[in-house]
Structure 1
């Protein structure tokens, strides 16, 4: 069993007409749905901004621009019965292909090969039982006027 560690993570907010792009997860232990923006781990020696460009390219095969840091969060949580601890850099960016914003969803692939559909969701979609994660993200996005 590996020793617990803090994970450095970069997430990117793509917003359009009051909606943000998120990936949906289900925690079978807690029996709740979670939503998280696109992104992933920051590798050793990699800057957060470079990690988010790489992650979006790897997961969605799309290029982005106008990347800017909007905040950093610390998240201590339990998912699937296991504890987690992340330091999360949250970025805002734009897709270079403007047609992406007209799609209802985007097909993506995790680093382990699992496929997912990222969907555009309104702020009102997120509740206590269908939560936007990491903790504090909803409030950060409201402060940055990226969610209603």
Structure 2
């Protein structure tokens, strides 16, 4: 990795939350115009200055879906370094697992909310096995391996 390029790039702290329903996780569906295919990412977002990661997760879920969450468990940190549109995207990710206070959320196959960019956000329940069999793409990079290692350690 070119250190000069790294010095010019911002490292972004992000907090994401895994919500589980049996063998499925809740993920936001996005579209990669370059690859012409959908991809999926857990809900959450960027930490604001002075904000703890667990506060960011609660705030982001409330903003995105209008839902409160409980029983947050810190799973650990992970890191993602990717190129998007020619720019370096480096994230330090605080991974959490949580539950929705409103149990009705688990009966919905999809949830419609509002993303950070003001556009509509669509979250769906996807089996983790679809990502493992490469039938769907999960971002950020390394997240599938991270979740698989958590399952191996009994976090499922």
> In 2, distance between residues paired with 1:41 and 1:68?
18
Q: Show the counterpart of 2:35.
A: 30
Q: Show the counterpart of 1:134.
A: 140
Do the aligned residues in 2 keep the contact of 1:33 with 1:129 (CA within 8 Å)?
no
> In 2, distance between residues paired with 1:34 and 1:7?
20
Give the TM-score normalised by structure 1.
Answer: 0.90
> In 2, distance between residues paired with 1:46 and 1:52?
10
Partner deviation per Cα, 1:13-72 (whole Å, 9 max, x = no partner): 000110000011222223343210000000111000000000000000000000011021
Bigger mean CA offset, 91-100 vs 29-38: 29-38
Q: CA RMSD in A?
A: 1.7
* Higher helix proportion: 2
Q: Name which one, 1 or 2, has greater alpha-carbon Rg.
A: 2
> In 2, distance between residues paired with 1:86 and 1:98?
31
Q: Is residue 2:99 matched to residue 1:94?
A: yes
1:43-122 matches, within 5 Å, as 43-122=48-127
